[in-house]
Structure 1
């Protein structure tokens, strides 16, 4: 069969393209690049042939979209799609799709794990027992430590991951409440959890706040100092979604004055972090005593298992096949969804 379409995976993620070719079929060729940081590293001659673009870590800004004269589909190989300039794509009629159903269990479990490790003292005792002058072999008083059954676990964003986190928190004994203005009525009853009508209502009752909404124009900076101070005193904040949703400087102020007892962050505003570092990250790296047992930061790895990586690969190319080859709307993100 004559090749009529070309799909580019610019980051060279895999040792071969056999799986991609098998799924796309003989009428489509799959090309790999070797760009490590930016699409700008790739030559115009290559981009001129591309109908479909698949990216994992790489941003797809407007100035790079303009270099693809034939581009029809961009597949973001993950859940979040904030790295793609969707307005620039929409102006050209380019469809943008994501892979919303990979790593769901992993991220949900990691979010609950972060909360538990803070609330049950794992981090505190780990930090104190490895010091040069270890803490006493005894219970340490801390406002962090609470029984699950007396706490409300607040879910901000009840999509696939938020729903999975809600079920896991519920199974561990938490009372679970969520807020999601886009989730239809009835979903809360199906999961057996409570619904908060407004964000403020959710915050006011969340002993643990776990963030699971996408990063969009409306969610950027959604949780600032006002919102953090609506949480009950000694609450815990967990973010496994996107760093810019949470004001990290406001979080530091609320941790320093004790309003927030602890936080678990798998995401931060700029990844990887660069100088000048946020003040909270500097304090964390310096192991300042006031943060002992109160803060965990991981490098955006909540999704990571070998099985999740396999899902990313297969589901991404299946989405590309559906949209580019078969003309379906699988996982296509509408431009107006922000």
Structure 2
């Protein structure tokens, strides 16, 4: 792999961005969509990395903006390697691969693109649901294997397990953008739709003509098919586990196009083998990229898996990349976080800014008077000078770059639970 460098400036300190800020695409190499939007305000680089160990030191030292998909994870330790980073934009809606609290404490805003793949994800979800009910995948496989259905008895045998949809109850966990789109589509097919979402305001069910249930247990007990459309956080990891599976109707279907960590795959595999769950369709998995040859689902029956592609269409991909580049541009030309449209850790940033004005020794004596990481008014002020420099896309690829410690100590956080800790639904895509 090569290293191509062009007009990289010295590392920026906490304050105004340099006249030509560096923006890096961390886990990709195609910047053709982003360049027309950013070329007059930033130098754009691509890293094509799967971890921060593969990111070049120049990016770690000088990048003020980062674009990323779902194929790289940024923990606190990873974030501390970046010396000048101000904003991260996740090209997609899910941001469970970024430690947003730690990012805020380090002065880094994290944004997502929540709406570009709503239709694609909802359509893919319905495809999976219909596939489970009408067994299209298994019928196709049977024909490819040479099975023939020339008599009624043979048809019954090969199509056994196919179910009428009208009158079945579809249970949706998380009624955000994608959940609502799935509900509207499912009603057209004759499903009775119920949902569970404790964070949704009262009355939404009336406007959509849906039935709301008060507890997760109610939804599990009354659904013939369950589909997941909630975010993944520390509160709902393995939401579907052996205990919750036992609360489901016997022979229930399960669909997951949200986040792989919501489902305990070992418990799911056992339930499939025992027939407690009739069939499952998964677009997301605990370990990605997914392989049938590895993991607990390899011997489980009635499983449909796709490789985290429910979000994808050419149109959605371009729209999400354009929106992400525009968010980076707003960060460069405006003020963080006020100029950002989809800052998912804004509350944490503001809390960190409040704490930065307090002498940490008076709150946490164990810091021995060390100065907390301080933020200027408005959290971060960003300015851009007049004439732009010629645009450039850089390929910056590293070989085993050692990690670098962040110079700022951790900002103390209030003890109370923030609303951002709650299981708020977001449309699941990349």
TM-score, normalised with respect to structure 2? 0.71
Match of 2:24 in 1: 8
Q: For residue 150 of structure 1, give the secondary structure of its aligned residue in structure 2.
A: coil
Is 1:76 aligned to 2:90, yes or no? yes
Q: How does 1:32-47 map to 2 (within 5 A)?
A: 32-33=46-47, 35-47=48-60
C-alpha displacement of 1:191: 1.3
Is 1:106 matched up with 2:120? yes
C-alpha distance in 2 between matches for 1:198 and 1:324: 44
Tell me: CA distance 1:39–1:326, structure 2 relative to 1, closer, same or farther (3 Å): same
The equivalent residue for 2:78 is 64
* Aligned-partner SS, 2:62: coil
Q: What is the rounded CA distance, in whole Å, between the counterparts of 2:177 and 2:118 in structure 1?
A: 6
Question: Distance in 2 between the 1:82 and 1:93 partners?
Answer: 18
Query: How far apart are the structure 1 equivalents of 2:288 and 2:105?
Result: 28
1:179-258 pair list within 5 angstroms: 179-258=196-275
CA–CA separation in structure 2 for the residues paired with 1:124 and 1:62:
44
Find the aligned partners of 1:325 and 1:103 in 2 and give their Cα distance: 27
Equivalent residues of 1:143, 1:261 under 8 A apart: no
Aligned twin of 1:173:
190
Please name the residue that 2:319 is paired with.
Answer: 311
Q: Report how far residue 126 of structure 1 moved.
A: 2.1
Q: In structure 2, do the counterparts of structure 1 residues 31 and 124 end up closer, same or farther at CA, with 3 Å as the change threshold? A: closer
Q: What is the CA distance between 1:180 and its match in structure 2?
A: 1.0
Structure 1 or 2, whichever has the larger Rg, is 2
Whole-angstrom distance in 1 between the partners of 2:304 and 2:325: 34
| Larger mean Cα displacement after TM superposition, 233-242 or 114-123 | 114-123
Partner of 1:126 in structure 2?
Answer: 140
Q: CA RMSD for the aligned pairs? A: 2.2
The alpha carbon displacement at 1:315 in A equals 1.3
Report how far residue 11 of structure 1 moved: 3.0
Whole-angstrom CA distance in 2 between matches of 1:306 and 1:143: 36
Identify which of 56, 61, 73 aligns with 1:48.
Answer: 61
Higher fraction of helix: 1
1:252 shift after superposition: 1.2
How many residues in Structure 1 have an aligned counterpart in Structure 2? 325
Q: From the superposition, tell whether residues 142 and 201 of structure 1 become closer, same or farther in structure 2 (CA, over 3 Å).
A: farther
In 2, the alpha carbon distance for the partners of 1:273 and 1:243 equals 10
Query: For the residues of structure 2 that align with 1:43 and 1:177, how far apart are their CA atoms?
Result: 49
Q: Which has the higher contact order (CA 8 A, sep 6+)?
A: 2
- C-alpha distance in structure 2 between counterparts of 1:275 and 1:306, whole Å: 27
CA distance in 1, matches of 2:53, 2:177: 34
Aligned runs of 1:282-297 on 2, under 5 Å?
A: 282-283=298-299, 291=301, 294-297=302-305
Do 2:327 and 2:341's aligned partners in 1 also have CA atoms closer than 8 Å?
Answer: yes
Query: Cα gap change, 1:223/1:265 in structure 2, threshold over 3 Å: closer, same or farther?
Result: same
- Which residue pairs with 1:287 in the alignment? none
Alignment CA distance shift 1:128-1:21 (3 Å)? closer
2: CA distance, partners of 1:316 / 1:325: 14
Give the 3 Å change call, closer, same or farther, for CA 268–27 of structure 1 in structure 2: closer
Deviation of 1:324 (Å): 4.2
CA distance in 2, matches of 1:219, 1:331: 23
